[in-house]
C-alpha cells in the first residue's frame, strides 16, 4: 500500500517540479522584458516549492 502512495506522491512532486520550471521560464521572460513587479512570479514559485517540499517529506524512503 505504501508503494502505491509513494508512486502518486512522486508523480505529484514531478508535476510540481515541471510547474516550477515553467514559472521560472516566465520569470526569465519577464526579466528580459524589463518588468519591475516580479512578486507574482516569485509568489507562485515559492508556493509551488513549498508544496513540493511537503510532498517530498511525505514520501517514504526505503
**Tens digit of pLDDT for each residue in 23-53?**
999 999 999 999 888 899 899 999 999 999 9
Half-sphere exposure of 33 (CA within 13 A, CB side): 10
What integer pLDDT is reported at residue 1 of this predicted model? 54
What integer pLDDT is reported at residue 31 of this predicted model? 92
More confident residue, 48 or 2: 48
Enter the pTM of the model. Answer: 0.82
Distance of alpha carbon 36 from alpha carbon 1, whole angstroms: 48
Amino acid at each position: 500500500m505504501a508503494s502505491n502512495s509513494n508512486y502518486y506522491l512522486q508523480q505529484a512532486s514531478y508535476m510540481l517540479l515541471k510547474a516550477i520550471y515553467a514559472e521560472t521560464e516566465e520569470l526569465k521572460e519577464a526579466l528580459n522584458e524589463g518588468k519591475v513587479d516580479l512578486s507574482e512570479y516569485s509568489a507562485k514559485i515559492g508556493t509551488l516549492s513549498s508544496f513540493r517540499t511537503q510532498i517530498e517529506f511525505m514520501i517514504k524512503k526505503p
